[in-house]
């Protein structure tokens, strides 16, 4: 059984640029959630995807968008990067209806300069 993987591990971008982060969900899991974890904080829910549709969104602006593919892998896109977007971005997979029983990837550390 393959766990949740994310790429890249680290990324440095400049303010105003765009970034795409990728996630492969755990085998058999059909739901993917994305979180932003700022330094010293708990994860903040960005959005969740189920069957390739957005299925819940946290308090993040529209420049945060996502995709889920038929194989349940997912992308997080962030446009017009701001310095405050610097954080660890975590992807978590689960079965539908069991969002709390999630399995997290190791995260992508994004630094915006």
Partner 1 sequence: GEDVEQSLFLSVREGDSSVINCTYTDSSSTYLYWYKQEPGAGLQLLTYIFSNMDMKQDQRLTVLLNKKDKHLSLRIADTQTGDSAIYFCAETGGSYIPTFGRGTSLIVHP
Q: Establish if 45 lies at the interface with partner 1 (CB under 8 A).
A: yes
Across the chain, where does the E strand assignment appear?
5-7, 10-13, 19-24, 31-37, 44-50, 53-57, 64-68, 74-78, 87-94, 103-104, 108-112
Q: Establish if 90 lies at the interface with partner 1 (CB under 8 A).
A: yes
Q: Establish if 43 lies at the interface with partner 1 (CB under 8 A).
A: yes
**Which of residues 2, 53, 84, 97 is near partner 1 by CB under 8 A?**
97
**Which of residues 42, 70, 83, 84 is near partner 1 by CB under 8 A?**
42
**Which of residues 30, 44, 65, 73 is near partner 1 by CB under 8 A?**
44
Dump the DSSP string for 39-60. Answer: TTS--EEEEEEETTEEEEE-S-
Using CB under 8 A, list all residues that contact partner 1. 4, 33, 40-45, 48, 56, 58-59, 90, 92, 97-107
């Amino acid at each position: 059984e393959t766990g949740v993987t994310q790429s890249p591990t680290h990324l440095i971008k400049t303010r105003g640029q765009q970034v795409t982060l990728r996630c492969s969900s755990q085998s058999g899991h059909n739901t993917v959630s994305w979180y932003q974890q700022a330094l010293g904080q708990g994860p903040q829910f960005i959005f969740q995807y189920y069957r390739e549709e957005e299925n819940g969104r946290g308090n993040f602006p529209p420049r945060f968008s996502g995709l889920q593919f038929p194989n349940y892998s997912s992308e997080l896109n962030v446009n017009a990067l701001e310095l405050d977007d610097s954080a660890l971005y975590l992807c978590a997979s689960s079965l539908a209806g069991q969002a709390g029983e999630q399995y997290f990837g190791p995260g992508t550390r994004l630094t915006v300069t």
